């Protein structure tokens, strides 16, 4: 009987965990900035990107869209709508930045293998053809420009959000219900609670 009288306050307390969203700071760490993108463009003979133009156009795009919808959408609904749109831009840029990072790692690894004179399998191909390492480096350069473009689009979207909503954008953080609790664990908890 003494067990039944025991307080169950500790078993009823819930720890609410949040699923962290992708931030603009994470994007900035993953994607090249304008200086690095320019250096990559020059080193690989790729087009120079208009970073500021990409950012400004995306900022204007969101502002013009929001203004067109202003009469039909309330302030709170507009904020939620913009939150989702900006989140998509930021998430896309971050995914591209991660992909770029993997491409750089692969290019770096293959290039380092070529520096070893005792290896035969990674040597340059016949005259007029690129080596596998060169193709990896060029692919990484393409991914750098892609991720930089998406970064600038995300920065423009974040700037538009701040201008339209009047507060700084931050990612939506979704609550995770009983993180890590499996059906077996839930059943065991219920059974133990019944036992007292």
The string of pLDDT tens digits covering residues 82-136 is 999 999 999 999 999 999 999 999 999 988 887 665 555 555 555 555 688 899 9
State the Cα–Cα distance between residues 184 and 191, nearest whole angstrom.
10
Average pLDDT along the chain: 85
Q: Look at residue 89 and give its three-state secondary structure.
A: helix
The string of pLDDT tens digits covering residues 131-142 is 888 999 999 999
In this prediction, what percent of the chain has a pLDDT beyond 70?
A: 78
- Sign of dihedral through CA atoms 60, 63, 65, 71? negative
pLDDT reading at 14 higher than 70: no
pLDDT reading at 167 higher than 60: yes
Q: How far is CA 123 from CA 107, 109, 140, 176, in A?
A: 14, 14, 20, 50
């Amino acid at each position: 009987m003494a067990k039944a009288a025991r307080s169950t306050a500790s078993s009823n307390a819930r720890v609410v965990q949040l699923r962290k969203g992708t931030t603009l700071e994470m994007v900035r760490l993953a994607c090249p900035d304008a200086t690095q993108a320019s250096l990559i463009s020059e080193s690989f003979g790729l087009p120079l990107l208009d970073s500021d133009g990409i950012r400004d156009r995306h900022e204007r795009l969101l502002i013009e869209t929001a203004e067109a919808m202003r009469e039909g959408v309330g302030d709170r609904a507009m904020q939620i709508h913009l939150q989702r749109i900006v989140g998509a831009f930021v998430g896309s840029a971050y995914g591209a930045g991660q992909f770029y990072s993997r491409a750089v790692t692969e290019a770096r690894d293959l290039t380092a293998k070529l520096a070893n004179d005792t290896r035969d399998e990674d040597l340059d191909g016949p005259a007029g053809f690129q080596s596998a390492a060169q193709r990896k480096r060029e692919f990484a350069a393409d991914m750098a420009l892609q991720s930089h473009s998406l970064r600038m689009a995300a920065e423009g979207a974040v700037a538009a959000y701040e201008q339209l909503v009047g507060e700084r954008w931050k990612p939506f953080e979704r609550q995770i219900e009983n993180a890590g609790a499996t059906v077996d664990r839930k059943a065991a908890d219920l059974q133990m609670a019944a036992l007292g």
